[in-house]
Structure formats: C-alpha cells, structure tokens
A and B are shown apart, each in its own frame.
Chain A
C-alpha cells in the first residue's frame, strides 16, 4: 500500500504537483489518467523517489519512505522508452537488480526464467536488447520489473511506443502478469480507453491535481466534476450552458426538455450540461428522445463507427454512432438524445445531478 499525504512538487517557481493525498492498494491496477503535462510522470517520480518533494509525506506498507532514497524503496519502473542495459544479454538485464540485491545463483536463475516464461522471452535470453523488436525490448523491461521483489511497480505509459497490435496484446496480458504479486501497480496513461480496459481504480489527473479517484467504471459513469468528465472521454464530452427554470432545461435556442430524477430538484439558474458523444445519435431510438437541430461541419468514419461534428447555436457537439450514416457536410441534421443520460454541473464545475 502506498499512501501520499499532501504531497507537492515544485521546480523553481512552478508548481508541478499541487497538494495530493492518495491511497493506492495492491491487488488491482491503479491507473493515473490524464493528458500530457497533467502530472502523471511527476507523481510517479515522487513516489519512486527520483525527484525531491517540496512538502508532504509518503508511506509504503506503513513505513515512512519520504526520506528514503530510490534504491531502498524496493520499487520497479518501466518507462515509455525501452530502457535496457545495452551491452548485457536479456538474461543479465532481468537478473541485474537481483544481483545487486545479493540473491544466490539458483534463486536468480529461477526468478529470471519464471519472468521470461510469463513474457515469452525464453528463446531470447541470450540475445542483446539491440537484437530484439520493440515489443520484445519492452517485455524485457517488464520482466525485470516482475522478477524483482518490489513493493510497488510503476508503469509510465509503457505501451505508448508500441504499435497498435502489440499494444493490444500486451495490455491484455498486463493485469494477469501482476496478479497475486502483492505489489502496488501504478499505471500512467493518457488514453481513457486504456484505463477502462485495465479495470481496477483510476485517479484522474488534471493540471497537477488528482481530480477524482475511485473504481474506474464508477468514475466513468459518475464524474464528480466537469474536468473529470472531459479527461475521461474520447472523443471529448459534449457540453453546453443551459438555463434551468422550474425543472425545465433550455439549451440556448436549440432545445428544451423537462428534467427528471435528481435533476428535477435543481434550483433555477445557469448550469453546464454534458453528455457523451455515443449518447447523441442521428436516429430516434426511443420515445424519450429529444431533438437537437444542428448543421454538420465535420464527419469521420472509423471502422464501423461514424462520427459527426455539428454546430448547434454557439456549441459544436459530436455524435458517435455505430453503423455508417450518410452525412453531408453543411446540411442540417436532427440528432437525438435521452435527457436521462445528461449530467449537470454547477458553475464551479462540480457535478450536481
């Protein structure tokens, strides 16, 4: 277990990590999800002890490691780039931290072979990293992290530099590789889909802060604030200013609908409504759907999904629907949404309904 208490990081006058308190547990993936520059790597480096903290305290399994240097924290780190010792064989690469730890020869061999089997590196044990493909190089780095007896394993966008197919393959294996090892696994990524596929828990990061932390699927369904909703959506979530008056929402000149459920009790005022692109469809599919009239400005076809960006008053929204829809750019089109899928945020950006 890793506990962060009001941890901050500053470089000169710039604050990279604002006060952060977080408890990460073993047994599942802890995903740090955020855009580039949101502080994922900074936070990992603080936990790994690679960068000094400005203030705060870090505990690992109850032990205060704030002043403990990296070597003594018993951690592993896998980078986005493939970092291996260039003039050592794959075997020696995996064995190097074990040798430093002073393990016996047979123990080292056992651990290296176990890790190599898990990552299908058996036939490559005698090769040099430069003779391996990118995927094999990254698997070697992962094997080094697994073979080592770590309390925490940090995976900093480990799949970002792999091609699409390898990424899919390795991502499927990852949760199994670390299952039952007792180490806290922290996985940084900028792709919302990756967080959803890995499961476990997610900490959303934005501008050096953790904006929300919890079970991944729960955060996806109920983002606590607008920033969390935006980070956890690809394509970006649709949002617009709405005026709510007597349990009725009005989207400036485009649509009007009656509020139901918790939203029905919202006091009158200005709010932001947000709805995910795949909840805005080009065809009617239920009685409760309300109409949104817009003008198509951009269309994209990706595999069996079609998306349309449409202008509706001052807002540009996206509709993502399965199947191929014949849009024509510049034409007016009616899109449909179920108000039950809308989330409402107050003027401070917090979820209200």
Chain B
C-alpha cells in the first residue's frame, strides 16, 4: 500500500536551489581547487589530499590557529559576562531605555574597516589620543605597532568595544521578556539577588545567550577586517589570525590550492566548535 505523495518534493526545490547557489556551488569551487595544483593558463593537475596534509602539518598554520583560539577565548570570556552585567544594569522601563539602547547599538552601526581605522588612529603612539595619553601623560610604554602585547590588548579592547553591545542587546531582550510575576514570586519567597539571577534571569536568558555565544564565537573566529586594518597582523606575525593568514596565502602568494584547503579546514573547525557549543548549551533542554 503506497499512498505517499511525491509532490512534496516540488515544495523542497526552491530551498534546495537557494542553498545550492549560496552555499554548495561556491563551496564546491573551493573543494575543486583544494585537490588540484595550477600554474596558470587554466591548467590543473590532480593533487589529492596533499594540500590538506601540508597545511595541517605546517607550523605557520598551527601558530595562526593557536592565536585564533586564544583570541576567541579571550573575547568570549570578556564579552559574555560583561554583556550580561551591562544588560542587568540597564533600566527596564522609563525615559532612559531608548537612550541606553541607542548608545548600545552605536558601535555596531560603524562599518568594520572604519572601526579598524578609528582604533588605529586612536592608539598610535605620539599621534593618537590614547597612545599619546598612555605614553606621555601616564608614562606607560605602549606601542601597538612595535610590541606584541600592546597590539593584542588593542585588538581585544577594540573587539570588546565593537561587539559587547550585541551580547548586551540580546541579553536585554531576554531580560525584559521575563514577566514581573517571576520577580514577585522571588520576592515573596525571600530569594537573594544572586538566586534571582541564577534561577530566574539566567534560565530565562539562556536561549538568547546561546545565540549570543554562537554569534560571537563565529564572528570572532572568522574576524578579519578590524585587526587587519588596525595592525595588519603585526608586529611580526603576533596578531596574524587565521583569516589574515589565509588572505596572505590566497591573494598575497596566490597559492590557490593550499588556500582552498585551508579555507575548508577553517570552515570545518568553525562548524565543529559551533556544533559543540550548541550541543553543550542546549543539552539541558531535552527532557
């Protein structure tokens, strides 16, 4: 007895076509490059998994990957708690709500390369306001163009400045959706401020917080424009994150094969870590 309606496939076609054009086709081009070698003239030679092996074994890739994980870990460790704290301290009703929301949204409205330029000019020693202030007023030896530590701090602070707002706005949306009745129940039970956070606000924020962590992970793991404009990956290779390294290989050296292989490895890592985050953060929700 077969009564399945094969027409259902028709309805899936638009989605399949869309996914094919915006993901599968471009990605297959990269897959195509990643297993071949070319010397121009549109001539290609089969290379197999050689590029993948070369990339994974290279010290340069491993170092860039290490820097990338460190950067993302620092960013998440600062932006998520800071975002929650700022969201908790924002007013929930009244005149100041729109003011706070606009102030929070401002950094996110600035184009990424402008953010990079802004912070570059702002922090240059001698010329930049912050650079001048740190060196000549406070007497702190700070030069992000020369010292790796200074460069790292600057990149991290810039990202925190640019993207903490996203975490704040998402958490805030979660917080204002909690009905007053929950706070009243907590008050009646005599719960402490910490208990209210731990047992009401945090659980109620969890869904948006999961999205915030995922977005911040993916964006910071794939970050390119801002650190590139700010430090260009330097001094030396100290702030050469994965995507900056990738562009150097692909466009600087025009090694299409290794760059394609690296792109796929990069993509796989992003996907895998995002999946792990997602599973860890939502595993409590399954009954």
Contacts and interface: CB of A to CB of B under 8 A. Distances in A.
Given A70-B184, A77-B184, 20 more contacts: A45-B184, A48-B184, A50-B184, A50-B188, A70-B188, A71-B187, A79-B185, A83-B182, A83-B185, A85-B203, A86-B204, A87-B199, A96-B189, A96-B191, A96-B199, A97-B188, A100-B189, A100-B190, A128-B287, A144-B189
A101 B190 contact: yes
A327 interface: no
B185 A77 contact: yes
A205 B238 CA distance: 73
Interface string B251-287: 0000000000000000000000000000000001001
A86 B203 contact: yes
Interface string B51-66: 0000000000000000
Contact of A70 (B187, B195, B199, B284): B187
B181 interface: yes
B200 interface: yes
B280 to A, nearest CB: 16
A42 to B, nearest CB: 13
Interface residues of A, number: 23
A83 B181 contact: yes
Interface in B163-196: 179, 181-182, 184-185, 187-191, 195
A85 B182 CA distance: 8
A100 B192 CA distance: 9
Interface of B is mostly: helix
8 contacts: A48-B188, A70-B184, A75-B188, A77-B188, A81-B181, A83-B179, A96-B191, A100-B190
Given A77-B184, A79-B185, A97-B190, A131 B179 contact: no
Given A81-B181, A83-B182, A85-B199, A131 B188 contact: no
A66 B287 CA distance: 44
A352 B105 CA distance: 65
Which of B181, B182, B190, B191 has its CB near the most chain A CB atoms (within 10 A)? B190
Contacts of A76: 188
Interface string B198-242: 011001100000000000000000000000000000000000000
Contacts of B195: 100
A50 B184 CA distance: 7
Interface of A: 45, 48, 50, 70-71, 75-77, 79, 81, 83, 85-88, 96-97, 100-101, 128, 131, 144, 148
Give the top 4 A-B pairs by smallest Cβ distance, nearest first: A71-B190, A97-B189, A87-B203, A100-B190
Nearest to B204: A86
Nearest to A141: B185
A155 to B, nearest CB: 13
A125 to B, nearest CB: 15
Contacts of A88: 199
Given A86-B203, A87-B284, A81 B191 contact: no
Which of A87, A88, A144 has its CB near the most chain B CB atoms (within 10 A)? A87
A81 B179 contact: yes
Contacts of B189: 96-97, 100, 144, 148
Contacts of A86: 200, 203-204
Nearest to A75: B188
A61 B182 CA distance: 27
A148 B191 CA distance: 14
A26 B284 CA distance: 42
Nearest to B198: A87
Contacts of A101: 190
A180 B203 CA distance: 37
A73 to B, nearest CB: 8
A71 B186 CA distance: 9
Contacts of B200: 85-86
A50 B190 contact: no
B194 to A, nearest CB: 12
A86 B202 CA distance: 10
A61 B184 CA distance: 23
Contacts of A81: 179, 181
A45 to B, nearest CB: 8
A71 B188 CA distance: 5
Contacts of B203: 85-87
